[in-house]
Amino acid sequence: MDLRPKIETLDLDFYYGKKIALKKLNIACHEKRVTAIIGPSGCGKSTFIRTLNRMNDVVAGTRCGGEILLDGKNIHAPDMDVVDLRRRVGMVFQKPNPFPKSIFDNAAYGLRVNGLRNRDRLEEAVEKSLRAAALWDEVKDRLRENAFALSGGQQQRLCIARALAVEPEVMLFDEPCSAIDPIATAKIEELIQRMKKDYTVVIVTHNMQQAARVSDYTAFLMLGELIEFDETNKIFTAPSQKLTEDYITGRFG
């Protein structure tokens, strides 16, 4: 397979103050594929995924080295607008974080801050994104209700819908299922599978089965270093590194 990397890092370093969190990472996330990032707690998975939409910019005292290319263009380039970048690279967080607004206003939030005011078009886009997040049938009669009334799994799907509504090119998932139950998890995994038709997906997970189920490529990180990066079935059946094998067979983690 000869695939185009949608978003790729070149010798990416990342520092919290003086402490180095990521060391010379070279990871290419291919277009319309799912790339999983796995590794033990504290290995830098979340830090890595948050560099891809420059979410770490808001954390004081952090510094980024190397390059991150989105469609071949450095996302730290001076003419790259970080607000625009974040619209193109959507993100779903670890804990569902709906805003204390109605379900409709949650789904419409991204469109509104990007300047869409037309009521009909908002309604259309909200319905489309809620359908894409497999939530529409459950909420279509209660769009005015506060999003906090939804279950955890529904809240997370609402967050996915909210991110999809602004039509991003890349979707980042930072351990999206760590705070929700197995049935809701299955729904979200199914969504991710479907999503790769249209999006480039990067998912951080500490659940190895999840990585095996949903991803095409898997990167294994440890202590901020990339140990192995390959096609998922190769990582899980014939890893080339001893460390990877030890980790996926559950000898540590």
Partner 1 sequence: MKKKKVVQFFGFLLLRVCLFTVLAVLLIILFDIGKKGGGTISWEFLSKPPRRGMTEGGIFPAIFGTFLVTIVTAVLAIPLGMFTAIYLNEYAKQGRMTRLIRLSIRNLSGVPSIVYGLFGVILFVNILKFGTSILSAGLTLGLMTLPWTITAGEEALKTIPNSYREGALALGATKWQSIRTNVLPYAMPGMLTGTVLGLARAAGETAPIMFTGAAFYLPMLPKSLTDQFMALPYHLYIMATQHHDIAKVRPLAYGTALVLIVLVLGLNLTAVIIRYRLRRKRRM
Residues of the shown chain interacting with partner 1 in the complex, contacts defined by CB under 8 A: 53, 55, 58, 60, 83-84, 86-87, 90-91, 93, 95, 97, 99-100, 109-110, 112-114, 146, 148-149, 159, 162-163, 166
Token code pair at residue 12: 């990416």
CB of 239 to partner 1, least distance (A): 33
Question: Beta-carbon neighbour count of residue 179 at 10 Å?
Answer: 16
Q: Which is nearer to partner 1, 166 or 214 (CB)?
A: 166
Residues 135 and 155: their CA atoms lie apart, in Å, by 9
Please, are residues 195 and 189 in contact by the beta-carbon 8 Å criterion?
Answer: no
Q: Which is nearer to partner 1, 78 or 115 (CB)?
A: 115
CB of 166 to partner 1, least distance (A): 6
CB of 32 to partner 1, least distance (A): 21
Q: What is the DSSP letter of 134?
A: T
- Between the alpha carbon of residue 6 and those of residues 30, 62, 71, 138, the distances in Å are 5, 25, 5, 33
CB of 87 to partner 1, least distance (A): 3
CB of 58 to partner 1, least distance (A): 7
Q: Which is nearer to partner 1, 27 or 111 (CB)?
A: 111
- Widest CA span of the chain, in angstroms? 56
Q: Strand, helix or coil at 247?
A: helix
Burial state string for 103-122 with b = 16 or more CB within 10 A and e = fewer than 16: bbbbbbbbbeeeeeeeeeeb
Pairing between β-strand 217-222 and β-strand 34-38 as defined by DSSP bridges: parallel
Q: Which is nearer to partner 1, 56 or 244 (CB)?
A: 56
Residues 133 and 90: their CA atoms lie apart, in Å, by 14
Q: Which is nearer to partner 1, 57 or 198 (CB)?
A: 57
CB of 23 to partner 1, least distance (A): 25
Q: Which is nearer to partner 1, 74 or 146 (CB)?
A: 146
CB of 223 to partner 1, least distance (A): 25
Residues 2 and 75: their CA atoms lie apart, in Å, by 24
Q: Which is nearer to partner 1, 1 or 60 (CB)?
A: 60
Token code pair at residue 125: 């886009």
